[in-house]
Amino acid sequence: MFYFDHNATTPVSAEVLEAMLPVMTEVYGNASSIHHFGQAARQKLDDARRQVAALLGATPEEIVFTSGGTEADNLAVIGTLGFKAGHAITTTIEHPAVLASCAQLESVTRVEVDSRGLVDPEDIRRALRPDTKIVSVMHANNELGVIQPLKEIAAIAREAGAVMHSDGVQAAGKIPLNLADLGVDLYSIAGHKFYAPKGVGALFVRKGTKLAAMMHGGHHERDRRAGTENVSGAVGLGRAAQWMIDQGPAEWSRLAALRDRLENAVLDRIPGAHVNGAGAPRTPNTSNIRFDGIDSEPLLIALDLRGFAVSSGSACSSGAQEPSHVLTAIGLTKEQAKSSIRFSLGRSNDAAQLDALVEAVVDSVAHLRKLAPAYV
């Protein structure tokens, strides 16, 4: 079985597991305890915080460990406004964690994207109001891989005095990051998207940014997130971050070549195939391809039976009857959205696997089209 669904989740890497195991079995103290065991855990936590900060181009004091991207998004959006009066700006293609968080607020404007999935910064400017408190625009889209012009959007938010948040869950570990240069105030990441375990993530909180805690209790994470720290998870996140610092650029170049090889082969060999998001800057590992006349569900099943794991969109929306809100937001019809497949590559994939995937897609699409006489 070959895995091409790394945007949904990644396996825990060998080096991450190696770093975590001693923490689970030997460094088991509470990081808030003052005795030897507690201080050993605190040292591991501090080291991990430095590694995550280095990946993001931040300082350790600006990193808040969370249970993952969803909590980080909720903390950023609701922690900025609470349930107080105020206006938020987001986009129509955000992850449900951001859309649902914004839905809790008093007033929200959802800015549309173009046919490539890109946000026009000037549309953000036009959506600003005197009471706008937060702008939340994802860095890279989970379904299309499209990278937003975040630096320009952050500058517009700063000029208006609004807090700038970005869901960076699909960007961290896939493209170079320097949050100081990007100018964002809040930035969410999730460990399981780049080979750390599920259940750990982080929120970057720029120094001086006001943020109300959502979880109340002890004084953990500088009073921003109460609860005994998940030290082993943080260590795994830190080790995954360090791998990306050391090996990321070479890996991203390798994945971009594989992604281009996949798209070129599919477009060359399958009539009526289209790359959603083509023409926009994208993360190197992600390709979303539409196949005219094909329903994605039987194609997913056919590929799975052939030994290839792919997806039709966000894993967080799996089982939904409605088509992807991201794909309809870029102008696709419901039928077109339901004929699209996401391929997301990772460290385990190589050229031989990719070529085998192409053959499976070509054969599966041809077979399904024979069963659908309406396709011309």
Catalytic sites, residue numbers: 316
How many other CB atoms are there within 10 angstroms of residue 205's CB atom? 26
If you write DSSP's letter for every residue of 147-193 in order, what string do you get?
BP-HHHHHHHHHHTT-EEEEE-TTTTTTS---HHHHT-SEEEEEGGG
Tokens standing for residue 48: 């991990």
CA 89/CA 280 separation, integer angstroms:
22
CA 249/CA 214 separation, integer angstroms:
36
CA 46/CA 372 separation, integer angstroms:
58
According to DSSP, residue 223 is labeled H
CA 290/CA 340 separation, integer angstroms:
4
Query: Which residue from 224, 209, 231, 342 is spatially nearest to 283, judged by alpha carbons?
Result: 342
Tokens standing for residue 34: 């003052």
According to DSSP, residue 282 is labeled B
Specify the residue for token string 């094909």: 294
According to DSSP, residue 218 is labeled S
Specify the residue for token string 């594989």: 258
If you write DSSP's letter for every residue of 44-91 in order, what string do you get?
HHHHHHHHHHHHHT--GGGEEEESSHHHHHHHHHHHHHTTSS-EEEEE
